[in-house]
């Protein structure tokens, strides 16, 4: 369960359905039905979708909710504002980590620490 | 004759040591935990002295009567057995804990003695818990049995450490961390040094296994005398974080520490980490740019937003929000505040732009929406404020830093102001809920205690102090987190709410359950907080309570 401020970006109906904000109603219905059919037979391509914050799992429930949101004109206008034009362009750069970053520290953790010190690893 | 005089002197010394009044009865309540600990300690040392002097006397006497070395041997064995019964820790630590003999370790440690003079009940449970974590697998039955014995006496340092180790044994690492950290909250006079060391050892092992080397450094440099193993891990941590630590010093610490074979992997890991050179400590080009991107935008913001040539009015600012959300995950609190402020200012600009209103008006007409453009803009502003508040809460960004950043600018940020108000309200609600939950819990326990007392007048033994200790720690953590995020303004508003409940709790555990160590920990914390907030009346009250308890 993502926090609401993250979910607003990642669960934007346009991202869930893989559509651009300017799409027509027919495109919306077609894309939604196609995805539901693909999910029904558990096709790999439909199980994930790309968002500006990285890939997320797609479910039939999410697709139905996205379709319902975009069918309602007022909510669609608001969702359009939150949808990035180009998901790839909006994706954040991955900065280079410094030599002593937490990531490195995690990697260099002393995994046998508890056992070596006489404790059972919890 | 000389032997008899020597023995008599020793006996007299022991008697004097045992019955002598406390150093300063005017300043110390003879019923206080501190006085009781001192009394127990003195008695134990008197027994030890008596045993050794008896051995010396009997040895001299046996020699004077022409006895051979076997008699001395028997006497020596008797002396060792006597000392082991007075201070069973030697046997428990050397034999029973490594063998994982939980029950025996507990029962033998119940005899008291060094190092559990300040907390004999907790020390016995801690001995059992140490034996339990040495076993290959967790044994729930033994753990519950040990936990049950925690209620046999007042809660003190060794008891809290024991509860932490039991939590670690059953795999509840979060609970273990909280409890073992809380050993520091108790009066050092009520916490055996061995319990401190054990708590620090576990926390060091935990931090090292996570690779949190800076945390290891903090733990290892508290100023207390740490174990040899902790000294080795601290030195290795210094090396891992880029501090200067000689190879020879590391090897020496490794040689001095026990379990050299097990620690060899740590030594290798530390030695593999080369000492930082100038080129490595210099920031890389991209990192420097990333850093500038956080610090500079407040100054360069207007130009950047003015240059927005996107086709939809919010495309760039949504892009900025995405970048900000991703960046918040890996930034320090100060930088997080700058990032959120930058985003809020960008939203202010976008929301006030005519471009947005024109775009919304056009779209409302095209899709035949039921709301006006202005309404949609207001809804968007509300959503943005909610999102910013949620991000601030989620990342626990300090509000004081945000306010300082906003004051640096001439124009206020309505979006950020709304978000800050929302977060402040949420933080105060969090404190209210916490205080309420604590009050209800205490009330429940009091009712339960009253019922049990009617059935069994000695029902005070049914008081589960460790559960209440956990509740108090949770409340303290919530408050400290809220104070850190909300800053002084929220802290001043939140403290009186919590102070009332905690004060009641402390008085209740002290007066009804004679848990003075527990009460002191709360009073000490309240005193520090009252002093930090300049609340002299409250501070005087807590100072008085602590002095009474001393």
Write the pLDDT tens digit of every residue in B417-426: 899 999 999 9
B chain contacts of residue A99, beta-carbon cutoff 8 Å: 242, 276, 280
Residue keyed to tokens 């032997």: B3
Q: Which of B39-48, B434-443, B450-459, B522-531 has the lowest mean pLDDT?
A: B450-459
Q: Per-residue pLDDT for B302 more than 60?
A: no
Q: Determine whether B2 is exposed, middle or buried from the number of CB atoms within 10 Å of its CB (0-12, 13-18, 19+).
A: exposed
Mean pLDDT of B167-191: 88
Structure confidence at residue B20 (pLDDT) = 62
Take residue B66 and report the two structure tokens written for it. Answer: 């022409």
For A56, the enclosing helix (H) or strand (E) is: strand A54-57
Q: Per-residue pLDDT for B304 more than 50?
A: no
- Which one has a higher pLDDT value, B309 or B34? B34
8 A C-beta contact, residue B110 and residue A94: no
Take residue B451 and report the two structure tokens written for it. Answer: 């019922």
Structure confidence at residue B428 (pLDDT) = 93
User: Cβ separation of A117 and B322 shorter than 8 Å?
Assistant: no
- Which one has a higher pLDDT value, B279 or B514? B514
Give the pLDDT confidence of A51-85 residue by residue, as tens digits: 888 889 999 999 999 999 999 998 999 898 888 65
User: Cβ separation of B262 and A115 shorter than 8 Å?
Assistant: yes
Structure confidence at residue B312 (pLDDT) = 67
Structure confidence at residue B137 (pLDDT) = 85
Give the pLDDT confidence of B373-391 residue by residue, as tens digits: 899 999 999 999 999 999 9
Take residue A71 and report the two structure tokens written for it. Answer: 């069918």
What DSSP designation does A48 have?
E
The stretches in chain A having pLDDT less than 70 are: 84-108
Nearest chain B residue (CA) to A108:
B211
User: Cβ separation of B269 and A118 shorter than 8 Å?
Assistant: no
- Which one has a higher pLDDT value, B199 or B11? B199
- Which one has a higher pLDDT value, B35 or B74? B74
Structure confidence at residue B181 (pLDDT) = 92
Choose the mutation target among A50, A117, A120 for the interface with B, i.e. most B CBs under 10 Å: A117
DSSP string, B331-399: S-HHHHHHHHHHHHHHHHHHHT-HHHHHHHHHHHHHHT-SS-HHHHHHHHHHHHHHHHHHHHHHHT--H
CA distance B46 to B437: 48
8 A C-beta contact, residue B131 and residue B99: yes
Structure confidence at residue A85 (pLDDT) = 52
- Which one has a higher pLDDT value, A112 or B278? A112
Structure confidence at residue B318 (pLDDT) = 87
Q: Per-residue pLDDT for B163 more than 90?
A: yes
CB of A122 within 8 Å of a chain B CB? The answer is: yes
Total structural domains within chain A: 1
Q: Per-residue pLDDT for B107 more than 70?
A: yes
Mean pLDDT of B127-144: 89
Give residue A8's domain range. Answer: 4-92
Most confident of B20-24, B35-39, B80-84, B176-180: B176-180
Candidates B209, B322, B390; nearest CB to A92: B322
Q: Per-residue pLDDT for B328 more than 70?
A: yes
Indicate the pTM of the whole model: 0.72
User: Cβ separation of B273 and A108 shorter than 8 Å?
Assistant: yes
Q: What is the mean pLDDT of chain B?
A: 82
Q: Which residues contact B483 (CB under 8 A, 6 or more apart)?
A: B490, B491, B494
8 A C-beta contact, residue A53 and residue A44: no
Q: Per-residue pLDDT for B489 more than 80?
A: yes
Task: Tell how far CA B313 is from the center of its chain.
Answer: 48
Structure confidence at residue B257 (pLDDT) = 86
Structure confidence at residue B306 (pLDDT) = 41
8 A C-beta contact, residue B414 and residue B348: yes
CB of B318 within 8 Å of a chain A CB? The answer is: yes
Q: How sure is the predictor about B159, in pLDDT bands with cuts at 50, 70 and 90?
A: very high
Take residue B359 and report the two structure tokens written for it. Answer: 């775009």
What DSSP designation does A12 have?
-
Structure confidence at residue B81 (pLDDT) = 87
Q: How sure is the predictor about B529, in pLDDT bands with cuts at 50, 70 and 90?
A: very high
Q: Per-residue pLDDT for B298 more than 80?
A: no
Structure confidence at residue B423 (pLDDT) = 92
CA distance B509 to B463: 10
Give the pLDDT confidence of B397-437 residue by residue, as tens digits: 888 888 887 777 667 788 988 999 999 999 999 999 998 88
User: Cβ separation of A81 and B318 shorter than 8 Å?
Assistant: yes
Tell me whether the omega of the peptide bond preceding residue B400 falls within 30 degrees of 0, making it cis.
no
Mean pLDDT of B151-161: 88
- What residues 94-113 of chain A have any CB closer than 8 A to a CB of chain B? 95-96, 98-100, 102, 104-113
Structure confidence at residue A39 (pLDDT) = 92
Give the pLDDT confidence of B49-72 residue by residue, as tens digits: 888 888 888 888 887 777 778 888
Structure confidence at residue B286 (pLDDT) = 41
Residue B123: closest CA among B171, B187, B180, B193: B193
DSSP string, B43-93: HHHHHHHHHHHHHHHHHHHHHHTT--HHHHHHHHHHHHHHHHHHSTHHHII
CA distance B360 to B373: 5
- Which one has a higher pLDDT value, B499 or B455? B499
Structure confidence at residue A57 (pLDDT) = 93
Angle between helices B260-272 and B228-240 (to 10 degrees): 20
User: Cβ separation of B211 and A114 shorter than 8 Å?
Assistant: no
Mean pLDDT of B103-112: 89
User: Cβ separation of A113 and B233 shorter than 8 Å?
Assistant: yes
Choose the mutation target among A24, A56, A119 for the interface with B, i.e. most B CBs under 10 Å: A119
CATH of the domain at A32: 1.10.287
Give the pLDDT confidence of B120-135 residue by residue, as tens digits: 889 999 999 999 988 8
Q: Per-residue pLDDT for B184 more than 60?
A: yes
Give the pLDDT confidence of B66-89 residue by residue, as tens digits: 777 888 888 888 888 888 888 888
B chain contacts of residue A102, beta-carbon cutoff 8 Å: 211, 330
């Amino acid at each position: 369960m993502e926090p609401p401020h993250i979910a607003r970006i990642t669960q934007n109906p346009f991202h869930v359905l893989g559509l651009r904000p300017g799409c027509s109603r027919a495109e919306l219905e077609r894309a939604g039905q196609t995805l539901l059919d693909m999910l029904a037979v558990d096709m790999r391509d439909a199980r994930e979708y790309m968002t500006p914050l990285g890939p997320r799992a797609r479910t039939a429930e999410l697709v139905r909710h996205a379709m319902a949101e975009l069918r309602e004109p007022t909510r669609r206008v608001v969702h359009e504002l939150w949808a990035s034009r180009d998901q790839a362009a909006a994706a954040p750069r991955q900065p280079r980590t410094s030599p002593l970053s937490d990531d490195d520290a995690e990697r260099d953790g002393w995994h046998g620490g508890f056992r070596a010190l006489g404790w059972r690893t919890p | 004759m000389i032997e008899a005089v020597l023995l008599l002197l020793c006996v007299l010394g022991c008697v004097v040591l045992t019955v002598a009044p406390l150093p300063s009865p005017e300043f110390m309540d003879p019923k206080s935990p501190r006085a009781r600990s001192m009394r127990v300690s003195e008695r134990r040392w008197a027994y030890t002295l008596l045993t050794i002097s008896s051995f010396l006397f009997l040895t001299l006497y046996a020699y004077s009567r022409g006895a051979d070395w076997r008699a001395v041997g028997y006497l020596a064995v008797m002396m060792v057995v006597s000392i082991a019964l007075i201070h069973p820790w030697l046997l428990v630590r050397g034999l029973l804990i490594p063998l994982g003999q939980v029950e025996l370790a507990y029962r033998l440690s119940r005899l008291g003695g060094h190092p559990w003079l300040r907390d004999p009940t907790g020390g016995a449970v801690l001995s059992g818990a140490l034996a339990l974590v040495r076993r290959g697998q967790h044994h729930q039955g033994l753990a519950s049995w040990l936990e049950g014995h925690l209620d046999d006496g007042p809660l003190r340092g060794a008891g809290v450490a024991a509860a932490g180790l039991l939590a670690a044994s059953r795999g509840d690492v979060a609970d273990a961390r909280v409890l073992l950290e809380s050993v520091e909250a108790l009066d050092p006079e009520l916490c055996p040094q061995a319990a401190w060391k054990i708590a620090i050892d576990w926390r060091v092992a935990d931090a090292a296994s996570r690779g949190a080397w800076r945390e290891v450094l903090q733990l290892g440099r508290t100023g207390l005398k740490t174990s040899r193993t902790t000294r080795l891990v601290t030195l290795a941590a210094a090396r891992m974080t880029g501090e200067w630590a000689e190879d020879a010093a590391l090897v020496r610490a490794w040689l001095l520490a026990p379990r050299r074979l097990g620690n060899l992997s740590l030594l290798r890991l530390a030695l593999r980490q080369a000492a930082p050179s100038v080129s490595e400590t210099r920031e890389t080009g991209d990192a420097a740019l990333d850093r500038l991107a956080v610090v500079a935008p407040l100054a360069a913001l207007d130009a950047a937003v003015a240059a927005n040539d996107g086709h939809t009015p919010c495309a760039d600012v949504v892009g900025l929000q995405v970048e900000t959300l991703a960046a918040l995950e890996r930034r320090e609190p100060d930088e997080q505040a700058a990032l959120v402020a930058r985003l809020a200012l960008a939203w202010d600009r976008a929301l006030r732009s005519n471009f947005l209103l024109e775009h919304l008006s056009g779209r409302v007409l095209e899709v035949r929406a039921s709301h006006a453009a202005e309404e949609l803009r207001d809804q968007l502003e509300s959503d943005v404020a909610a999102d910013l508040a949620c991000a601030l809460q989620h990342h626990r960004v300090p509000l004081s830093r945000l306010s300082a950043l906003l004051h640096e600018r001439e124009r206020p940020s309505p979006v950020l102001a709304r978000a800050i108000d929302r977060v402040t309200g949420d933080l105060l609600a969090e404190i209210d809920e916490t205080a309420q939950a604590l009050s209800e819990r205490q009330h429940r326990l009091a009712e339960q205690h009253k019922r049990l007392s009617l059935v069994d007048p000695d029902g005070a033994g049914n008081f589960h102090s460790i559960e209440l200790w956990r509740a108090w720690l949770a409340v303290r953590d919530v408050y400290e987190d809220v104070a850190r995020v909300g800053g002084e303004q929220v802290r001043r508003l939140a403290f009186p709410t919590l102070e009332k409940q905690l004060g009641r709790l402390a008085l209740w555990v002290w007066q009804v359950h004679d848990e003075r160590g527990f009460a002191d920990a709360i009073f000490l914390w309240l005193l520090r907080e009252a002093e930090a907030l300049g609340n002299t009346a409250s501070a005087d009250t807590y100072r008085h309570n602590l002095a009474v308890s001393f």
